[in-house]
Structure 1
Amino acid sequence: MNRPKLRSRAVHTMTAVAVAIGTVLAAGPTSAADRTAESSASAASAARGTTPVVTWAASTDRLTTAAAFPDRTYRLVVRTSAGGTGLRIRLSNAFGDQPVTFGRAFAGLRSSGASLVPGTNRPLSFGGSPSVTVPPGGSVYSDQLPGTLRPQSDLAVSLYVRSAGGVATGHKMALQTSYIAPAGDHASDDSATPYTQRITSWFYLDAVTVGARRGTGAVATLGDSITDGAISTRDTNRRWPDFLARRLDADPGSRIKGVANEGISGNKVLKDGSGESALKRLDRDVLSQRGVRTMVLLEGVNDIKGVPAPTAAEVIAGYRQLITRSHAAGVCVVGATVMPYEGWRDWTPGGEAVRQEVNAFIRDSGAFDAVVDFDRAVKDPAAPSRILPAYNSGDHLHPNDAGMRTMSDTVDLKSLRCSRRQ
């Protein structure tokens, strides 16, 4: 079996990518400096016949169970989708109330546990500097890292947090084991020895991009716990977007190769709760991601089973806002039907009626660019308001690994090639 390589490239290539300057992105409108830096990065990619594409992403939120600690190193393990050159990472302090200073950041290939493949761990820079301070509400892209990253690689991003305090930003339910070295800067270490603590959240890292072959694009999956992968087997990448990424990688006819999983457990379309509402986080989590051409929207069950619950008309109005804003940004929207959940503690006949009305809109309104019928794929034909036992994780709401695979298999890959960009 060929081992994935993060290869060093020639000196002239390193010079070419030096113009791609990492930039701190404050929350709110993009500044002229930010636009100039991003334009330079895009120009450098175009000169090499590549285009920036997100290869991994996770939605950020405030990590209420973990404070922001200084003088520790995080080794965060993520699974790539699209392959390419010129890796960049995005670090987020979107929910922080104090600045965070990253002393150093490295990226390499994970061997096993917290150990890295020798020779692959390489330093990242930010505007030419090894360190960067991200203000509250801000985010930062690294400079491009020369070399090639293959698809379906276990990438380890090591972040030494020099100073931090208050609220930490990250993704709570990673379903992936990552690691902490609790004291000091160990970002450059290949060894697992200093990484004595295990965690199941991703801290600060919210996106990884590569320069993929020109014409390559990405899909973002905006969703709740089902998209986040709840109940799927930890450390095996069996969320439905992971299965979708493998299908896209294996399909020689598809130019959609990147997959950004923007699911948050408990998330709603209309109201904040577990994460900001889909309406609030759309720009940050989806529309800001590089190369996204299409979004698959699987949200609504948490609204429907909420107390008090919105009407079907209110959920549909939320969908229409998401569609309109995505279309304005040149992103197509695939509507996914809300899946059955009878047997879950919050199920009611009234909620089921709302689900059916919402699904009728998704299927028949023509508001979406395409539809994926997850409801039809996983329901029990003998009891349509219930998930099929073969796909039931046991809680009557979340699919098991087999259900996640079936969801992925239900997606028509051709529907992801839709383009609204000029």
Structure 2
Amino acid sequence: MTGRVGRLGRVCRVAAVLLVAAAGQSAPAPPVQALTGATTRGTGVVTWAASAERVGVGTADRGYRLVVRTSVGGSDLRVRLTNAFGDRPLTVDDVHAGLRGQGAVLRAGTDRQLTFHGSRTVTVPPGAFAWSDPLPGEVPAQADLVVSLHTPDAAGPASGHSLAMQASYIGDGDHTGEDGAAGWTRTTGSWWYLDAVSVRPAHTGTGAVVALGDSLTDGWQSTADRDRRWPDHLARRLAAAVGTAVKGVANEGLSGNKVLTDDGGGQGALHRLDRDVLSQPGVRTVFLFEGVNDLKAHAGVTADDLIAGYREIVRRAHAAGACVVAATIGPFQGWPEWDPAGEAVRQDVNRFIRHSGAFDGVADFDRTLRDPDDPQRILPRYDGGDHLHPGDEGMRAMADAVDLSSLDCGR
């Protein structure tokens, strides 16, 4: 999917330009399976993220100029490159970060080269990811950040995020250090090889919320290139809020994803929890909004099955020191896979979410989205058109339904 070229990035100011880190040697990242939230908590706070999946086939001598939106601002920017689904080592020999002007054009003077253990080149083993060295200088909150990278000899399965709902850019050859757009000849609707960005906020104690979800969190049916997914609206609310230390928002929505199995979009929530969520720096709260895809293709899935999956996520998140806020599953009558049996399971699961006390907080997205006159359906003004995914107005309503104080619980 290719979105429209994005609008002018809303960038406030840069207090200091990003500088290149000192020279040294590169080193491979440890296996993804070995990483947990505690491993990276001292390295800053995640300001952007996207769940990893297979996005296609790697191409040699290919450049990617990837546009992402920061949530929290800060210094010491770091990026995380992923080879989670690769079957061979991934070498990236040039990575830059800067602020967007318009389209593929960067703001002059903001683009700088990133290093990995002092080297401009990094090789990421199959199934692993690698964090860059920090760049001194400030990165604004709510800014269009551009990460440009070059793969000299990529081949085989490529890792990234398919449904970006944001136009990024592809070029042949290495144009990562160029401010202009001439080398970036094609657009892409996916993020390639990049799955997280972190900063060090000015205030110690600042944390992040990570949204674990499916296509409703990924933003399908919201307007592309406008940052209108519900986590985007939540990030804007948190940026303006006084009295909460949670400022970072990471969107780990994955279209088609399920809680219990891997036969939907990518690995199921139980299998990707460590990599996509608990490994993120500064994560304070997991926001769990998944389950509708398990229900749509229920084939015997019961409320007890989903509840057991939720309890496992809570157990693991609590063990990592993170809180869990859960959202009720919204209505979806009118979607082709809806049936009374799945609806009955949804009602049972939502009763558990609301009343069990298993979670540190609850957001009632079902109550927010449903039509009072026909509560098994989305309110028409919130319906993105397919009776499952909210449009822009529904996305905003979901974010507005989140009690911000519930995200700032302590463990």
How would you bin the TM-score normalised by the shorter chain? over 0.9
Could you report, residue by residue, the CA deviation over 1:286-307 in whole angstroms, capped at 9, with x for unpaired residues? 0000000001100000001115
- Deviation, 1:9, is 7.3
For each residue in 1:317-340, what CA deviation from the matched residue of structure 2 results, as whole angstroms up to 9, or x when unmatched? 110101111111111000100000
Using the TM superposition, give the Cα deviation of residue 355 of structure 1 relative to its aligned residue in structure 2, in angstroms: 0.3
What is the aligned partner in structure 1 of residue 67 from structure 2?
77
Distance 1:167 1:6, change over 3 A: farther
- What secondary structure sits across from 1:271 in the alignment? coil
Q: Which residue of 2 aligns with 1:47?
A: none
Aligned to 2:122: 132
Does the 8 A contact of 1:55 with 1:81 survive in 2? yes
Helix, strand or coil: the match of 1:28? helix
> Following the alignment from structure 2 to structure 1, what is the Cα–Cα distance between the partners of residues 179 and 365?
42
Secondary structure at 1:322's aligned position in 2?
helix
SS in 2 for 1:109: strand
In structure 2, relative to structure 1, the CA distance for the partners of 1:53 and 1:180 (3 Å cut) is same
Q: Distance in 1 between matches of 2:279 and 2:320?
A: 10
Which residue type is aligned with residue 26 of structure 1? P
- DSSP 3-state at the match of 2:271: helix
1:369 pairs with 2:354: no
SS of corresponding position for 1:163: coil
Other-structure match for 1:319? 310
Structure 2 letter corresponding to 1:190: D
SS of equivalent to 1:82: coil
Moved more, 308-317 or 105-114: 308-317
Aligned pair 1:25/2:30, yes or no?
yes
CA contact (8 A) 1:76 1:156 kept: yes
Task: Please list, as runs of the form range in 1=range in 2, the aligned pairs for 1:343-382 lying within 5 A after superposition.
Answer: 343-382=334-373
Which residue matches 1:103?
A: 93
Matched, 1:55 2:47: yes
Measured after TM superposition, the shift of residue 28 of structure 1 is 2.6
Please point out which of 147, 166, 169 is paired with 1:157: 147
1:48 match: none
Asked if 1:193 corresponds to 2:202, the answer is no
CA deviation after TM superposition for structure 1 residue 118, in Å: 0.6
Contact 1:303 1:309 in 2 (8 A): no
Which secondary structure does the structure 1 equivalent of 2:91 belong to? strand
CA contact (8 A) 1:22 1:142 kept: no
Contact 1:23–1:141, Cα closer than 8 Å, also in 2: no
Inter-partner Cα distance in structure 2 for 1:312 and 1:171:
30
Aligned residues: CA RMSD: 2.1
Matched, 1:414 2:409: no
Q: CA offset at residue 343 of structure 1?
A: 0.4
Structure 2, unmatched stretches of 5+, are 1-9
Structure with larger RCO (C-alpha < 8 A, sep 6+): 2
Q: CA deviation at 1:309?
A: 4.0
Partners of 2:181 and 2:58 in 1: how far apart?
22
Separation of aligned partners in 1, 2:206 and 2:109: 29
**Identical positions, percent:** 56
Paired residue for 1:261?
A: 251
Aligned to 1:299, which of 290, 299, 310?
Answer: 290
Check conservation: 2:35, 2:274, Cα contact below 8 A. Answer: no
Residue identity opposite 1:5 in structure 2 = V
How far apart, CA to CA, are the structure 2 residues paired with 1:134 and 1:257? 30
Aligned 8 A contact 2:11 2:142 in 1: no
Q: In 2 relative to 1, CA 192–309 (structure 1 residues): closer, same or farther, beyond 3 Å? A: farther
CA contact (8 A) 1:6 1:120 kept: no
Contact kept in structure 2, 1:311 and 1:354, CA below 8 Å: yes
TM-score, normalised to structure 1's length? 0.91
Determine the C-alpha separation between the residues in 2 that align with 1:269 and 1:255. Answer: 29
Amino acid at match of 1:381: P
CA positional deviation for 1:26: 1.9
> What one-letter code is carried by the residue in structure 1 that aligns with 2:93?
G
| Structure 2 match to 1:282 | 273
2:13 aligned partner? 4
Distance 1:30 1:174 in 2: 25
Distance 1:279 1:346 in 2: 23
Q: 2:30, 2:227 → 1: CA distance?
A: 30
Aligned partner (choices 384, 388, 393) of residue 384 of structure 2: 393
Q: Is the 8 A contact 1:104 1:123 kept in 2?
A: yes
| C-alpha distance in 1 between matches for 2:74 and 2:13 | 12
Question: Given residue 260 of structure 2, which amino acid in structure 1 is its aligned partner?
Answer: L
Deviations 1:161-216 (A, max 9, x none): 112111000100000000001x2111000000110010000001000000112010
Task: Say whether 1:169 aligns with 2:174.
Answer: no
Question: In 1, distance between residues paired with 2:134 and 2:405?
Answer: 31
- The equivalent residue for 2:210 is 220
2:227 aligns with 237
- Name the SS for the 2:44 alignment partner: strand
Asked if the contact 1:23–1:142 (Cα under 8 Å) also holds between the matched residues in 2, the reply is no
Distance (Å, rounded) in 2 between the aligned partners of 1:235 and 1:347: 30
Contact 2:33 2:274 in 1 (8 A): no
- Cα pair 2:30 2:128 within 8 Å, conserved: yes
User: CA separation of 1:30/1:390 partners in 2, compared to 1, >3 Å: closer, same or farther?
Assistant: closer
* Amino acid of the structure 2 residue aligned with 1:419: G
TM superposition shift of 1:27: 2.8
Task: Give the corresponding residue for 1:178.
Answer: 168
Partner residue, 1:331: 322
| Residues 139 and 2 of structure 1, relative CA distance in 2, 3 Å threshold | closer
- Give deviations 1:213-260, integer Å, cap 9, x for gaps: 201000000000000000100000000000000000011222101001
Shift of 1:98: 1.4
- Asked whether the 8 Å contact 1:22–1:143 carries over to 2, the reply is no
Question: Matches of 2:372 and 2:198 in 1, distance apart?
Answer: 41
Structure 2 equivalent of residue 403 of structure 1: 394
8 Å contact 2:35–2:279 — kept in the other structure? Answer: no
> SS at the partner of 1:248?
helix
Counterparts of 1:123 and 1:95, CA distance in 2: 26
